[in-house]
Every structure is written in C-alpha cells, then in structure tokens.
Structure 1
C-alpha cells in the first residue's frame, strides 16, 4: 500500500517504542514522515537512539519537547502536516505516583499545545494515544468504549482520560477530526524496559529474581507491537466523518488482543523461551495497578478491520531473543 497524501505525517514520540515502529510502517508504505521526540531520561535515551537507528533511520526526528510552544509551532509551520499521530507522553503508572508534574507537563499542557496547532494549522486528522488504564474502577471486563472512565486508579490514567475529553471538546468547538486509541499492554522487540515483558525477560535471562505482584493473581491483555501498528495505521486511514450535531468528529477505539493472559502463564512462556526457570518473588498489589484488563475490539474491527493475530506464544519469544541480542548475557 502506498500513501497518496504528499504532506508529511508528523509523528510525536517518534523515538518511543510504538512511535518508531509506526514510523517504520509509514515509510514502508511510501509516506513522508517527520518525527519529534524529547529523548527524556525516563529510561535510557541510548535505547531510544538505537531503536531509531534500527527501525527508522531514514526518518527526520527533531529533538523537541511538547512544552516548547514556540519550537512546536515552528515545526508545524515548516512541515505543514495534514495528519498527526500523537504518541508522545509521559508514560508509566507507577512513575506517576512519584513524579506527578511530569504528567501534567507532557500529557496535559503538551497535549493542549498539539490540539491548538492542529486547530490553527488546518490538520485534517489527529490520531492520539490513550490507554487501557482509563477504565480504572468504573468498568468491568471486557472493557468497551461505551463504559464509564471516571474512576482512574492513577494520575497517568487521569491524564489520558482528560486527553479524550480535550480532544472531544476541540472536535465539538472547532471541527477537529480526532481519533483516540486505548492501547492495551503493548509489547515486542525494542519495547519499553520498564514494562513486564522486558523486565521479566531480562531478569530470567540474567538469573535475577522477578517481582510478581498481587501474588500472580493478575490478567493482562498483552498486545504485540505489529498488531498495534496495524491498528494505528487503520485508524489513520479512516478518520471520523462529519455528521449533524450533536455528533462530533471524534472517536475512541480499544486496541488490544481481546484475550487476557494469566500472569503465571505469561511468565511460563518467557521461561520456555529463555530455557531457564524464573526466580519469582511474590508481592502484594502495587498502588495504581489494575488486576485485569481485557479489550472489546468490536468497534475497531467494524471501523477499520482491526484483527490482532499474535499470541504471547508467538510474540514473547521474539522479545526474549531481542533481549539476548541487544543486552547480551547479562540482560
């Protein structure tokens, strides 16, 4: 498939895990892409640089922070994008317990800056990252976009729910076409080192113990990166249509595997791929975590054919193999 829009697609968070994979997929289908990333030290910036070099070395990624309003405006004026994929954010549930201002700056103030520039620079479609964490305590599995999201369990989740409200407001007031994507525990090669797939894989390979929270009684809807990228591009290609009020051109979709996995099974697959047993240290539930996530993806399937195809038995060995190659014996 080729991309017929000649204006570059602007991807924020382009050096991030999902962002770099999305940039690679866009380039593979012929799209012009410009990225931005602030290369912050939430985790090792060198991993981000290595990720870009491996996945999308031909993409021009500018070192820029979302809170730099003048710099962001200058980039929009230079690139003149008609489509924006906004993936930049301060991630992590647990980090939000100790560094709240980072989330206010990036996820709230930064998102307003992106919305304002999309509004004033004539962007035709904004696709932005939300999160499965928005469901919090007010929804029950399987999580559907029709369920309430007004009882978040962390500040991170609250900022992502706020993003959805803000995008809806801009769609209502200014006709900005926007699509929010609620990602469910994305994993794969070149993933985030603070998330369980890499944390557990590296520890098992190196013979270090792993912390198993809530004594292993957790279920997660682990979603492989290739499936997520297909969903992002599908959403990008199918913007909301104009409709008579009170409808607004804003939609939100779950992107998950719709098959929750027991944490113990997840660990067992890593053990098998690593060829060694895990040293498990069972601990109580962490503040802010959710016991179970499960995506109802019927809306995304109906809108743009989203159909995740990768089981953990296929995806996790790829993570373990990548950890061996990238981190070496002492993963």
Structure 2
C-alpha cells in the first residue's frame, strides 16, 4: 500500500539527505515522483566524496532541490521552511556513532539537540502534516529484556549518543503536546547496505579484508545485533509518512502503550526482528567477499551493548510491514556494490 496518494503531490523535506538513510529514502521518493527538498551540511565525519556521490545521483531528478545548511543555524532552517513550506518533514540529520560521542561530545549537542530543536521550532512556526525523525536502538541502553519493545522504559542510556536520541523523543513529545505537531520517532536497528557509512563495522571490515589487513572483533565476537537492511528501513519510513499519529485523549500510562500518548506522538522500532551474532555476520561477510579475515579479538568497548533485538509488532499491526532481508542477501548486495564503487577486481 502507498503511504501518500500520488495526486496530492506533497512536498517532503529530508534533512541529512546526503547521509546513508537520507540518500536511500530520497531515491525511493524521487522514483515515485514525489517532490523532495534535501538539506545537509556535508560535514567531514567521514569521506565527503561518498556524500557528494550520493548527492549527484539525487540531483539527476528534476523534482529534487538541495540546500547546503547546518541545522544548528536557526535562520537557515527557518528560511527553508518559510520559502518552501514542506508538507512532511523527515529529520535524519544527526551526529552518528556511539564511540565517536566519547571523543567529541559537543558535536552531538550541536547536531542532535540544537539542530533538532530548530527543526521543532520551524515545524511550530510553519505547520507540517507530520514530522518523522530518527531515533536509535541505542536508547535501550542497559535493558536486559528482549526483544526490545517500544513499551519499555528507556531511562538508562550507556552513551551520550543514546542520551541525545532519547532527548529527541522527549523534545518531540513536548512539541506534540503543546503545539499538536504530529511526530513519529523511528528507532533504527544497525542499518547496513550499499552506499553505507564507512565508520560502520561491516564497511570497515570489508575494506580491511580486501586489503589483507586484520580486523578488530570486539567482545570476542559474542555481541548480537539486529542487522537491518537499508531497503527495509526506507520502506518502513515510506509507509509511515502518510500516517501521522493521533492523540489518545484517554491515554493512561498504567495500561496503555508507552510509545503512544495523549499527544499526537508515536515511537516505532524498525529492525529485522532477528539478532545475529557478530561472528556469524563476519563469517557471512567473508563468504561474500571470498576471503577469510585475520581477526584480532578485543574486549567490549565503552558505550557498546551486548545485544539489540527489535520487537516490531506495532509496525506489523499499523502498516502491515516487517523488515525481512536476510544478512546473506543484504551483505551480498553490499559487497557487490562495494567492489563496483571502489573498483575492486572481482
């Protein structure tokens, strides 16, 4: 089923458009003839050429407009909203990375808190039909009960990155309540695939294996992640765009789902609902590359968690969708893209 009727021709603003998820979502929407405005600051967190190449692919579409701005610049954010008047906003711009948040905490304050605040204020001043924004599975922090449910308490983050994402959910709820802005938070679970982020383990593993370098395997490979293929992520977002949450005026925290509210607010997990041990993931990657990795086994790193596992029952219930791409299929597509993009002999 389609998220929005095509004849409405809505204008969709995507922040972080040159990022991994933003790029893939932009491609999906543009291929379906939606009008897309993309914003990005094109920062140097990782190789800017990858971001520029993503952007070039998007700019081939006539119904795409790009603006290079930083979300912490309130005047620029306001100008985009004032001049373009988007119908829907999908905020994917953020400073990513758990370990990087230990080294550069203020980058997370600027992007994930101040930047998101400016988006909320713009949605208040220039009303939109629905604001969707990226949260993260990292908000579950030290939770032991699995699978992770949006009905669980998430007050024990183990990294600053996770704390900023939880803060985004709280900020969104306040604005949903006070200004009746429909907001949906999306807790993504370990996203991977073509055009991915070079700072992610699967990406750096591939590079090092192909170059004959050793790879660092944290916690001796005994961590589990709910690896979620990028096409599943953007399909889930797409199906949610035209479904703004509705306030439940009778909401009671003692009996109702904590991911809903008396405000027009909702939280969803988007994960594969099938955690995979890191060593299995590496073994599949080795198979797809056709080369065994030299492994250096290391202890758990600060800010890491042992396991992520998404309960996606409400996603299935509300939009009849559940991510389902296997790691064999997903890693196969990633390795194929990597070798082509970086001109690696097959």
- What is the correspondence of 1:1-331 to structure 2 with a 5 Å cutoff? 3-54=6-57, 57-58=60-61, 59-244=64-249, 247-329=262-344
SS at match of 1:212: strand
Q: Distance in 2 between matches of 1:308 and 1:115?
A: 29
Q: TM-score, normalised by structure 2?
A: 0.93
Is 2:247–2:265's contact at 8 Å kept on the other side of the alignment? no
1:253 aligns to what SS in structure 2? Answer: strand
Secondary structure of 2:95 counterpart: coil
CA contact (8 A) 1:21 1:55 kept: no
Report the secondary structure of 2:233's partner residue: helix
Counterpart-to-counterpart distance in 1, 2:73 and 2:290: 47
- CA-based RMSD of the aligned residues comes to 1.5
Q: Indicate the residue corresponding to 2:256 in structure 1.
A: none
The structural deviation recorded for 1:50 is 0.8
Gapped regions of structure 2 (runs ≥ 5): 252-261
The CA deviation string for residues 174-225 of structure 1, in whole angstroms up to 9 with x for no partner, is 1010000000000000000000121111111221111000011110000000
* 2:10–2:87 Cα contact (<8 Å) kept: yes
Return closer, same or farther for 1:286/1:16 CA change in 2, 3 Å cut-off: same
User: In structure 2, how many angstroms separate the alpha carbons of the residues matched to 1:6 and 1:54?
Assistant: 22
1:72-127 deviation line (CA, Å, top 9, x unaligned): 11111111012100000000000000100000000001101000100110111000
* Structure 1 Cα separation of the partners of residues 343 and 219 of structure 2: 30
Q: Check whether the contact 1:205–1:330 (CA below 8 A) recurs between aligned residues.
A: no
**Aligned partners of 2:158 and 2:182: how far apart in 1?**
29
> Residues of 1 paired with 2:81 and 2:164: CA distance?
24
Runs of 4+ in 1 over 6 A off after TM superposition: none
Q: Which structure 1 residue ranges, 5 or more long, are not aligned?
A: none
| Pairs aligned (count) | 331
